[in-house]
Chains A and B, each alone.
Chain A
Amino acid sequence: AQKITQTQPGMFVQEKEAVTLDCTYDTSDQSYGLFWYKQPSSGEMIFLIYQGSYDEQNATEGRYSLNFQKARKSANLVISASQLGDSAMYFCAMREGLEDDKIIFGKGTRLHILP
């Protein structure tokens, strides 16, 4: 079974609109961490945001926020006021457990921001 599922292979969004990128995860651990990374066409991987499983509040970093719904095992990324530069691949990832830092990635969502 996949550990990280991103159901949207591609999305088209009008500039300045908010965007929600879906991510669900599968783990039996109580302690885990969730990440979102951005990969522009240049290929570099850029860390965006992190949510720990025990964090009670949703993580926010500027225009990025993580809608963490623990019971549903959901960790959607919300980008407010989208910009043309947000066009990229977005990957959701998970680290399981306290000791194991292995991080597993989803297959990604390609986001296109339309002018």
Chain B
Amino acid sequence: GAGVSQSPSNKVTEKGKDVELRCDPISGHTALYWYRQSLGQGLEFLIYFQGNSAPDKSGLPSDRFSAERTGGSVSTLTIQRTQQEDSAVYLCASSLVNGPWEQYFGPGTRLTVT
């Protein structure tokens, strides 16, 4: 079956530009997560969507970061006025809400801000 997909796989952008990263979760998974992973580092939680509930935005590092999830499925993470420190791999994951709770991860989007 189809897993979590993310696009683009790689994105190079100039400092100050806006970028949009897309995540298609596994069909039927109502929980969706965004994480950021800098080179050689762990996963930094960014935002979490569960069904129709208000998203948990507690991990977003600044107001330049925002995310939405349309129709309870596809999610878009937007970074405005990108900075060099935004360079990282952005990982999306989805899971079932009522268990089992393991997350299924997408391949990630590697963002490079020049």
- A16 to B48 alpha-carbon distance, docked (Å): 39
B interface list, Cβ under 8 A from A: 31, 33, 35, 41-43, 45, 48, 50, 56, 89, 91, 93, 95, 97, 100-105, 107-108
Contact at B43–A47, with CB atoms within 8 Å? no
Contact at B41–A102, with CB atoms within 8 Å? no
**Secondary structure class of chain B's binding surface, majority of residues:** strand
Known: A33-B101, A50-B102. A102 touches B89 (CB 8 A): no
Contact at B35–A105, with CB atoms within 8 Å? yes
Instruction: Count A-B pairs with CB separation below 8 Å.
Output: 47
Q: List 27 A-B contacts (CB under 8 A).
A: A35-B102, A35-B103, A43-B89, A44-B105, A44-B107, A45-B103, A47-B102, A47-B103, A50-B100, A50-B102, A91-B43, A100-B56, A101-B31, A101-B97, A101-B101, A102-B48, A102-B56, A103-B33, A103-B103, A105-B35, A105-B42, A105-B43, A105-B45, A106-B42, A107-B41, A107-B42, A108-B41
